[in-house]
Amino acid sequence: MIDNNVEISIVIISWKMRDLLERCLKTIYDFTKDVTFEIIVVDNNSLDGTSEMIQNDYPEVRLIKNSENKGVAPARNQGISKTSGKYILILDADMELVENSIKQLYDFMESNPAAGIVGCKLVDKDFNLQFSCKRFPTITAFLFRRLEWIDSIKNSKTLKHHTMQDWDHNGIREVDYLIGACQFFRKEVVDKIGMYDDKIFYGPEDIDFCLRIWKAGWKVYYYPFTKIIHHEQRITKKNLFSKISMKHFAGIFYLYRKYNFRIKV
């Protein structure tokens, strides 16, 4: 149900990121002006003081406490199910606002009814560009993303094409998909296509969601005129054989099976 008094519902899931989440929440409140919003945090059993920090310092935030790590898509869906705004903003807990980015994304969507979802420019702590909008991946591109530490793969045409390194990222553009660290979409989208596919524990749920938005008749946009710092954790690339990495690979395989190995509009 949409609450006319809430324009944007911000959903953040967190797992063992207490300090980063605290910074994220602080900067949302510091920089977000001229728009009404609510924040919903889903704590995936962090056991690091995350829930206590929110309860003590941000009592206005709606907190969902899980007794286990439910993964990304299922936890995001928990948060989405509690939203009341006209728009929903998915943010990772390791995001840091430096300007009124949320209002700019809101204004873009209000002015572009064909847009189902938009994401802004993401940068690292030194304000270097991160490749947050991408072309739908081939199986080879998926594999190469796990092996970026190898220079020949990092500089390959396959990977550069997938991550859109052939473009300067300085203009508004329709893109295949946006990474889940920042996805701003209409509540109407969820009403029509449903939420994230909760069969994906962690990984390509962002690809699946944007693909379904395209198939439903909306467009996916990259908006570069505001930026957010993304303190990217890259947990599956730090340990290729961890339990969560295995779940990530399982999600990739599931995605390809879901679309008969043809991920495209």
The answer to whether residue 112 sits within a structural domain is yes
Residue 105 falls within a domain, yes or no?
yes
Mean pLDDT of 236-260: 71
- The encoded tokens of residue 37 equal 């919003």
Q: How far is CA 115 from CA 81, 181, 261, in A?
A: 22, 18, 26
Q: What is the pLDDT of residue 147?
A: 76
Query: What's the Cα-to-Cα distance from 56 to each of 59, 122, 126, rounded to whole Å?
Result: 6, 30, 31
R_g of the chain, CA atoms, integer Å: 17
Pick 259 or 216 by higher pLDDT: 216
Answer yes or no: is 129 within a domain: yes
| Residue pLDDT, tens place only, 94-142 | 999 999 999 999 999 999 999 999 999 999 999 999 999 999 988 888 7
Residue 91 lies in a domain: yes
Residue with tokens 């990217």: 232
> In the chain, how many domains are there?
1
Mean pLDDT is lowest, of 13-27, 63-77, 118-132, 149-163, for 149-163
pLDDT at 95: 98
Tokens 């572009």 belong to which residue?
112
Which residue range forms the structural domain that includes residue 182?
A: 8-135+170-233
pLDDT (0 to 100) of residue 240: 55
Is residue 148 situated within a structural domain? Answer: no
Kindly indicate the confidence band of residue 236, based on its pLDDT and cuts at 50, 70 and 90. Answer: very low
Q: Is residue 238 part of a domain?
A: no
Domain annotation covers residue 151: no
pLDDT beyond 80 at 246 = no
- Let me know if residue 165 belongs to a domain: no
Q: What is the CATH number of the domain that holds 223?
A: 3.90.550.10
Q: What is the C-alpha to C-alpha distance for residues 187 and 194, in angstroms, rounded to an integer?
A: 10
- Give 217 or 236, the one with higher predicted confidence: 217
Cα 156 from chain centroid? 26
